[in-house]
Structure 1
Amino acid sequence: MVQGVKARHVDSVFELLKELDVVNTREEAEERCFFFSGREALDLALDEKGFLIKGWEEREGTFQRFVSKIEERATSAGMTAKLHLNRDTCQEVLHQCAKSLIEVDAQIQSRV
């Protein structure tokens, strides 16, 4: 029964993410799904274990892997954005250098 509910949730998430062109396969959608209650997360964060339900360790592991992947993607996106900014700055400097060289060449040509 629980596995059936999870499968239906993953199917729904897969259809939504596929429609948004975020994923292409069910496996990719499964990487973006986790089943961990907010109450369990709060209890663990507060170091209280009163409301943890059997199997919480596995659910927490799934959630932690999800968080790690989000952090990896955010880091990667930040690095990509920084690289693009650096590339754009370098191109601007190169264009300014090329313009200066053309001006210097024109002055030399006018003197010759």
Structure 2
Amino acid sequence: MDNYSASLDSIFRALADPTRRAIVERLGRGPATVTELAQPFAMALPSLMKHVGVLEETGLIRSEKAGRVRTCVLQRQRLGAVEQWLGEQRAIWQARYGNLDELLVKLKGEDDEN
């Protein structure tokens, strides 16, 4: 497995969890402290920190500690790998749909001739 695939795998694994997706979504609006990130969830802070740890390991977020406050920031460039992969998949399927459209037009034309 190449680095690109391994990177995508780790990102998709991290984003498979709804809590982590919500954290990424929140950080898309700007930096937030761990306490701010924890507010919408009914879980203990140590549990939320495990989610933050997974996101940090994949490089989706970065956190800095100043005193007792840990602030998290989204690393948008890591989402670029996902965007690239999705763009490639979209192009493949658009080409397939285009081929299907052409085939249907051709078959309809043959039907009209008979």
* TM-score w.r.t. length of structure 1: 0.41
User: Which structure's CA Rg is the greater one?
Assistant: 1
Higher helix share: 1
* TM-score w.r.t. length of structure 2: 0.40
